[in-house]
Amino acid sequence: MFNVQPIGRLRTPWATTSDCPRNGRRADPPPLCHVELDPAYIDGLHSIEGYTHLILLYWLDRATKPEMIFTPPRDTEPRGVFATRTPRRPNPIGLSVVKFEAIERPGVLAVRYLDCVDGTPLIDIKPYLPTTDSEPEASMGFQRR
């Protein structure tokens, strides 16, 4: 076993999972959300100012029990959990690539394109690097449509 500790909380306008957009990029307009780091981790933001996008990893603490096979919304065929982005996973880890707007005050980042409930525990922040984190030839599997 291993232990994962939150490093902060995500602040969004959504109180419940049913309030959340299915994808943060589909919210129109995308609301300003906030990353609030616990004081012990604020020094880790040193030099983050030059990035336009960040990868946020978070724990989907309100996800229901995992389903290994299910039919996703707007689909007609059963799919395996690892072929989808569902929160109902064995380890409910969420990932969002967000637009980094600003450091509003020490330990508080303003971002856009989040799609999680207010108060979601933050696990990690990583810089998004287009040369490493994107591949123009990547396939979208069954989601080609």
Structural domain containing residue 118: 8-129
- Report the alpha-carbon distance of residue 143 to residue 127 in Å, rounded: 26
Helix (H/G/I), strand (E/B), else coil: 77? coil
Q: What is the pTM of this model?
A: 0.90
pLDDT at position 26: 67
Domain count, the chain: 1
The domain that holds 12 is classified in CATH as 2.40.30.70
Q: What is the dihedral of CA 65, 80, 22, 95, to 10 degrees?
A: 80
Q: What is the pLDDT of residues 3-16, one digit of tens each?
A: 999 999 999 999 98
Residue 50 is assigned to a structural domain of this protein = yes
Q: Report the alpha-carbon angle 27-29-35, nearest 5.
A: 75
